[in-house]
Structure 1
Amino acid sequence: MAEEVIIFARSLPFHHLGGMEVVAWDLAVQLKVKGFDVKVVTTDFDAEVPASEHLPEIIKIKNIPRAAYSKGWWSETEKLAARWSHKENVCAVISISAGAFSTLKHKKLFPEAKFIMQAHGTSVGEFVSKLKTRQIKKVLSSVKNVLGFYSDAKHYSHFDWIVAVGEAVRADLTNFPTRLICGKSKVTKIENGIDEQLFSDETSQKIALREQLGIAPDALVFMSASRLHEQKGVDKNIELFAQVKKIKPDAKLLICGNGPYEPQLRKKVDELALSHDVLFMGAKTRNELANLMQCADLFLFLTKRVEGLPLNVLEAMSAGLPLIISEHLTFSEGEKIFKCNPNEIPTGQVLTYIEKVSNKERESYIPVKNTLSYAVGEYISLFQRISK
């Protein structure tokens, strides 16, 4: 009988496409490939998942709010853990963010299991991020993060390991005040892993894709992929593109994603007379996104938000796309990475950078530690490692 891994995630890419959801599902799929009996507990959703013995089993909790934490989620996940069959065969219980908090009271019933929390951020980090926006609505909502800190304090200490998905998250977990509630020794960093087979530097479909979109073969094509939320800085991507467009008249910008800020972004595009040059592509599956990256030349992510280790940037690196990103992101500036202040974009330097990278051969440059195969190996090592 294969060892079991139980993953608790309130949402998956079948609910909506987000970084946390993608990381959770990719991990589940690859652990299944490695021979584990993987079961993913989540809220209900309507999307169809192809029936396959090669995919993890999905256990949907019905009749509770979807893709959200709720009283129903905490109650039903606790009951599920209490009545789980063959508890002695479970080698790991993985909590995506707070997903498995309510199961911790039954930890002793799983004698062979490591309880692991995958942390995508902290209450304190989110609190600081909201304060930095100086927006009244955001500042007022930060009160929830203060309450979240007390909830974290009740649960963090019961996990065997807390996995930070990036350096910014690790720093938040190991610095005051969060270090007081989780213990520095149990924090380990396993950075987000990208499927390097899916997001490859292949460009065989570039010309065909451009033809489908009505883009000239030799046009300069920018691309962004994120939720269309004010903090993601898509408006800054548009502002940068508008400046470059003055010098590169054939340039195009592909905006992938959807979200509440889309009407404002479309209005901005119209005001800048760019409606024929900025293409809103809508939400894309990961396969569609990886394919679409073939027809782009550069990737933009001028986010205003404090990000842990954004998947979209890693995916672009894996696909070999040069980057123009916010200076506060933790990536090191280099030959294919240009960093700047989203509010003070140095157009001249950007144009020089574009000229420099435009003639470079397309080649993946994602660090090994950020590949999916490496990340999964690190998780498996935690299953066997003695907790500190």
Structure 2
Amino acid sequence: MTAPIHITHVIIGLDVGGAERFLLRLIEAHGGNPQYAHRVISLTSKGALGPRLEAQGIAVTALGMTSLHDTPRTYMRLKRALQAHRPDVLQCWMYYADLLGGLAGRRLGIKPILWGIRNSHFESGGTRLKRAVRRSCAIASRHLPWRIVCVADSALEVHARAGYDRARMEVIHNGYDPDAFTYSDSGRRALRRELGIPPDALVIGSVGRYSAAKDHRSFVQAADAAMRQRRGLYFMLVGRDLTAGNQALARQIAATLHPERFLLLGQRSDVPECLSAMDVFCLHSRTEGFPNALGEAMCVGRPCITTDVGDARLLLGQEGRAVPPGDVPALTQAMIHMADLDAAQLQAMGARARQRITGHYTLVHAVDRFESLYQTAMTLSY
């Protein structure tokens, strides 16, 4: 029996986010597979997903970084951790981890270093420090990583134009597990009953943490405008900080025609049931790479509205509505369009969305691509 390929992942943290959840799914896909052995190093804490990984026997190390001032100490801890359990492949996820992991790995002579790019808008947002790190990554991309894995075609193009080494870049789209994200009629009925949603109401919902990039303000404004033109609309928001305790969000909702029709569920572990309780899913972000939430909603068979960000339009294809980011009137009209469809039309649109995932964007396909990289990495000469 051949020895397994040892892969160490370096990531900024392990709270619930797109990159973190895909890392979890990638590792879980190798559960019981003796060909691959994974370890995870979080630059900060074990977050919400660390204990879940540990429960599956995955070693998770948290380096305790809390601020920029911790960077030198965190780097030294990272180098020691890699030295103690030298991997065959070092896989880094997102800018900070790419830079620190790449530097530490090269210092230790590790050649197969994978970088990960999850953002399709290099130039948008972020602190001065984050912009400086991204510029440093662009310069270092010619020396530190062996390959740079982009989550979306748009992510590759944006970063290549910003100075990343195009020759080292390739795209591996997110993959989704259709068996893990399926429609649940019992889950739908139970949650709608718990929330007091009328049987004939149309629920438009979204899943994603509260942040400027997710642009909940535009969603609330469009929802308000749609409620003024169509009756029986409700709006469900699922994700971290989407609660009544979020004062900024609460003020925006309070200014709408029917604030009682906004259902703030916060972060949930039963996302498939939440998606099942929705009639229409809406991705309203200003920036994305290859959006997990949209793919998961499609898996569940939800008709979808999305902003045209990252590779969202590519993922959705013709099975929904795409609108420009930040365009409240266009988002409003998309909501109204969905509200005007009958139940059979919505069901057929959702079924086609699920078929698009099962035909093109399964987790198996994404895992196969990463396995091919891991296998190729083992042929590199030092």
Alpha-carbon offset, residue 153 of structure 1: 1.7
Q: How many Å separate the matches in 2 of 1:155 and 1:374?
A: 26
Identity of aligned residues (%): 16
Name the residue aligned to 2:30: 31
Q: Does 1:280 align with 2:298?
A: no
CA distance in 1, matches of 2:72, 2:294: 35
Q: Which residue of 1 aligns with 2:118?
A: 120
Return the alpha-carbon distance in structure 2 between the equivalents of residues 65 and 366 of structure 1: 41
Paired position in structure 1 for 2:374: 383
SS at match of 1:356: coil
Query: Is 1:370 matched with 2:355?
Result: no
What is the TM-score with the length of structure 2 in the denominator? 0.83
Report the alpha carbon displacement of residue 334 of structure 1 after superposing the two structures with TM: 5.0
The reply to whether residue 313 of structure 1 matches residue 294 of structure 2 is yes
1:96 aligns with 2:77: no
Q: Which amino acid aligns with 1:326?
A: T
Q: CA deviation at 1:185?
A: 2.4
Q: What does the per-residue CA deviation read over 1:149-207, in whole Å, with 9 as the maximum and x for residues that have no partner?
A: 124423553222110011121112333x424xx2x222110012223222123434222
Read off the aligned partner of 2:216 and give its amino acid letter: V
Distance 1:291 1:280, change over 3 A: same
Instruction: Describe the shift of the 1:190–1:33 C-alpha distance in structure 2 as closer, same or farther (beyond 3 A).
Output: farther
Q: Secondary structure at the match of 1:192?
A: coil
Q: Given that residues 199 and 315 in structure 1 are in contact (C-alpha distance below 8 angstroms), is that contact kept between their aligned partners in structure 2?
A: yes
Instruction: Go from structure 1 to structure 2 and tell me whether the alpha carbon gap of 1:199 and 1:3 turns closer, same or farther (over 3 Å shift).
Output: same
1:301 to 1:67, Cα distance in 2 relative to 1, 3 A: farther
Query: CA 1:27–1:68 in 2, change beyond 3 Å: closer, same or farther?
Result: farther
Asked if structure 1 preserves the Cα contact closer than 8 Å seen for 2:241 and 2:266, the reply is no
> 3-state DSSP class of the match of 1:205?
helix
5 Å-filtered alignment, 1:123-272, equals 125-126=121-122, 128-130=123-125, 141-142=127-128, 144-146=130-132, 148-175=134-161, 177-179=162-164, 182=165, 184-259=166-241, 262-272=246-256
Point out where structure 2 has 5 or more consecutive residues left out of the alignment.
none
- 2:283–2:294 contact (8 Å) kept in structure 1: yes
Rounded Cα–Cα distance in structure 2 between residues aligned with 1:107 and 1:247: 63
Q: Distance in 2 between matches of 1:355 and 1:265?
A: 28
CA shift for structure 1 position 378: 0.6
Contact kept? 1:44, 1:66, Cα under 8 Å? no
**1:135 counterpart residue number:** none
Structural RMSD (CA): 3.0
For these two proteins, the number of residue pairs brought into alignment is: 358
Question: Matches of 1:167 and 1:191 in 2, distance apart?
Answer: 8
Shift of 1:39: 0.9
Show structure 1 runs of 5+ residues with no match. 131-137
Letter in 1 for 2:160: T
Verify the 8 A CA contact 1:7 1:28 in the aligned structure 2.
Answer: no
Aligned twin of 1:337: 320
Normalised by the size of structure 1, how large is the TM-score?
A: 0.82
Q: Following superposition, which runs of at least 4 residues in structure 1 exceed 6 angstroms of deviation?
A: 66-69
Q: Tell me the SS of whatever aligns to 1:38.
A: strand
Shift of 1:230: 2.5
Asked if the contact 2:230–2:339 (Cα under 8 Å) also holds between the matched residues in 1, the reply is no
